[in-house]
Every structure is written in structure tokens, then in C-alpha cells.
Structure 1
Amino acid sequence: MTVLITGANRGIGKALFDGYVARGAQTFGTHRQAETGQMLQLDVTDAASQCALAGRLKGTPIDLLVCNAGVNLDQGEKLESGYASALWEATFAANVTGVFMTIQSMLSNLRLSKTPKIAIIGSQLGSQSIASGGGYIYCASKAAVLNLGRNLAVDLAPEGFGVGVYHPGWVRTDMGGSSADISMQESADGLMARFDALSADTTGCFETWEGRAHPY
């Protein structure tokens, strides 16, 4: 099994990377720094960087692509005076466009797998049925990437792809904060179990890290 995880140098991405290495899978991670071993350089928002990664991995079958890289830039912003357009642009570039570009650049690699899977790390904050207020940019980006995942699932279903979107839980990371509910290890273990269960039969799913179907 060959796995590629974006944003694998810290947080949930690092825990997933370590988990698949421990399983014995051929595991590649990406970060924005220079290539070091199995950690490859990728800025998900940059087309040239995407092209370089595609060239680096040309001919390598990818069984599981985990789109984890993302940002949360609007914490603490005020409705009356915050949420500048530059924050919208940077957030959507990473959390939505970056996911699409990564999938697009790795599509030929995924098509070399007998059981190709794409797992998108979303958030419960992208659900329109449980809107909590605030965090407008991040929430909107996660709603958009949920929609993206659902549409990709439809288009790639005839080729036998499994495409899923996953809420990783409120995790104790730099983004989630120290008071969050669960550890990175708990989240990663749960997510890996979800990715194991992902298939052409379950494509289009939106699930929590512990396996519950999430409301859209």
C-alpha cells in the first residue's frame, strides 16, 4: 500500500504519517520545506509546486491520497471590522483550491491503483445543519471542500474510486488548541480506520473520526 499525506510535518498529518509508517506502508508526506527523505516538498496553493510533485512521483501508484494540508486564519476576527479579503483568498487557496489541485495532480498516480482512495480532512464546521456562528472564512472553506468531495465522488465513481470527507474531531494541535477534546493519536487512529473502510461502495461519505455519519 502506498499513501500520500499532505501537510504531514505536524499535527494530525504527522500522526497519520507516523501511523502508516508503523503499519509498514510506503508512506510519503508533504510539507512546504525542501525534500527530506519521504517528506516531499509541496505548496498546495502553487501550480508549479504541484507540477513538480507530479513529476517526482510519476509512475508511482498511490492507493490512498489524504488531503490534510489546510489553514485557519480568521480566529478572533470581528464581524464589524475583520475578515479582510486577503484572509478569504489565502484560506480558500489552501483549503479548497489546494485540495482540488492536489487531487488533479495525483490523479494519474491514483489511477494506477486497483483500489484508489481519496480522503479529505474536512470539519464539522462545514456542515450547514449545525452552524455555530463565527469563523466565517474557515467554515465556508470547509463547506466548500465538502461539496467538492461529494462532486468528485460522483465523477470518479465509474472508475472505482472511494472519496470521503472526514471530521477529525476537536484535536489538541496548534490549530485546535490545548483544551481540545482528543489527542492527535486518537484522531489519527480513528481516521485510519475510516480510510480502511472507504471504498467504491461507501464513496461520497461524510463521517466523523470515530465512524459516525455526519449531517451535511
Structure 2
Amino acid sequence: MHVVITGANRGIGQALLTRYQSRGDKTTGTSRAGGPLATLDVTDPASHEAFANQLADTPIDLLICNAGVYLDKGETLNDGYPAQKWADTFAANVTGVFLTIQSLLPNLRQANAAKVAIISSQMASHTRAPGGSYIYRASKAAVLNVGRNLSTELAPEGIAVGIYHPGWVSTDMGGATAPTTVDQSADGLVARFDELAMASTGCFRTFDGEDHPY
């Protein structure tokens, strides 16, 4: 199985990459800086084109859209949330996910029963609306919507799409007080991706197997 993981240079993405490598799957991890990983800046259309060309004629069995940003921590409603942070966040968390999937569709179509896994967040759900983090919440809600619509459009081609909450994870993004470890999240997500099938396409699930309300 060939697994492609965006944002695989740290945190959950890195842990997922390690797990797939350890079980013998072919892996392609990406990062904005490249280095030992493939170079992909998900906000840059030219970078998507270059990465897709690099993988030309290589089937992708599982595409994990993990790369993302959380730029509006600490912003206040009275004078925070500047327009540029909205633009930068949506470029990575929404447009970047869509462009990743769009540019790699030929590779997904070459595989047998390909899967796409989109990392969203419980903060996307309308059932969790305590205020704050408006930009991040909106971006994760938007990518949840993108995933749901893609699951419908790609269903006739046999490509399953799942959207996932990875947990509140102790990473640079989640912070040191987060209750879920990277290992717990990665182990759960691998299990969720393994079980993703056409029968569950369009699902919004937590890393530990619960269906999350939209």
C-alpha cells in the first residue's frame, strides 16, 4: 500500500509516517521545507503541480491530508482576528487540502479502492461553539464540508473519503496540557483509516472510533 501524508515532518503527521513505515507500507511524507521528505507547500499551486509531477503514474492507496495551521490562538474578539490570518489559515487548512486532493486525483484513480483521510477537528462541529479561535474553527468546519462533498462526488469512482478529529493532542499546536498523546492519536487514526470503506464514506469520526456530530 502506498500512503501519502502531508505535513509529515512533526507531530501527528510524523507519527503516522513512522507507523506506516514500520508495518512495511510504501510511504511518501511531505513538508514545506522538504529536506528528507518530499517538498510540498500546500498553499502554493506551483508546489502542488511539482509534487504531482514527481508522483506521476504512481498509484496512491491512502492520501492523508494532515498539514494545517492554527494561527489565531490568543486573538480577542474586540480587536483581533486580522484579515491576513483568515487568508493564511484558509489557504492552508481548506484550499490546501482541496488542491492536494485535486492534484493527486489521477494517482488515487490508479489505485484499487483508494481512500482519502482529511484531518479536521471537533472544533468544526456546530455542537462545540464556546467562542474564540474563530478562524481555526471556521477553517475546520469548511474542510469538513469539503470532505463531505468530495465523498459524494467521488463515490461513483469507488474512492472513500473520511474526515477525522485527531483528539486534543499534546503537540506544538495542541499544547502541553492536551490530554491525548501523539501516540494515542496516531494509533487510533491508523485504525480508523484501515476501516474506512465505501460503506462509511463521508464519515466524521474521532480518533478513538466515535461518530462525531457535524
TM-score by length of 1: 0.98
Bigger CA drift: 13-22 or 123-132? 123-132
Residue 89 of structure 2: aligned partner: 91
Give 1:92 deviation, angstroms.
0.2
Q: Specify which of 145, 148, 158 is matched with residue 147 of structure 1.
A: 145
Query: 1:26 aligned to 2:49?
Result: no
Alpha-carbon distance between aligned partners in 1 of 2:183 and 2:103, rounded to the nearest angstrom: 29
Give 1:52 deviation, angstroms.
0.2
Q: Deviations over 1:71-96 (max 9, x none)?
A: 00000001000000000000000000
Give 1:132 deviation, angstroms.
2.1
User: Runs (4+) of structure 1 moved beyond 2 Å?
Assistant: none
Matches within 5 A, 1:154-173: 154-173=152-171
Letter in 1 for 2:152: V
Alpha-carbon distance between aligned partners in 2 of 1:86 and 1:116, rounded to the nearest angstrom: 35
Alpha-carbon distance between aligned partners in 2 of 1:53 and 1:132, rounded to the nearest angstrom: 39
- SS state at 1:201 partner: helix
Give yes or no for contact 1:166–1:208 (8 Å, CA) kept in 2: yes
Give 1:35 deviation, angstroms.
4.5
Alpha-carbon distance between aligned partners in 1 of 2:106 and 2:130, rounded to the nearest angstrom: 39
Letter in 1 for 2:119: I
- SS state at 2:127 partner: helix
Matches within 5 A, 1:1-216: 1-36=1-36, 39-216=37-214
* Identity percentage of aligned residues: 61
- SS state at 2:209 partner: coil
Alpha-carbon distance between aligned partners in 2 of 1:22 and 1:185, rounded to the nearest angstrom: 14
TM-score by length of 2: 0.99
Kindly tell me the number of residue pairs found equivalent between the two proteins.
214
RMSD: 0.6
Gaps of 5+ in 2: none
Alpha-carbon distance between aligned partners in 1 of 2:33 and 2:165, rounded to the nearest angstrom: 27
Letter in 2 for 1:24: G
Alpha-carbon distance between aligned partners in 1 of 2:150 and 2:182, rounded to the nearest angstrom: 28
Alpha-carbon distance between aligned partners in 2 of 1:34 and 1:172, rounded to the nearest angstrom: 24
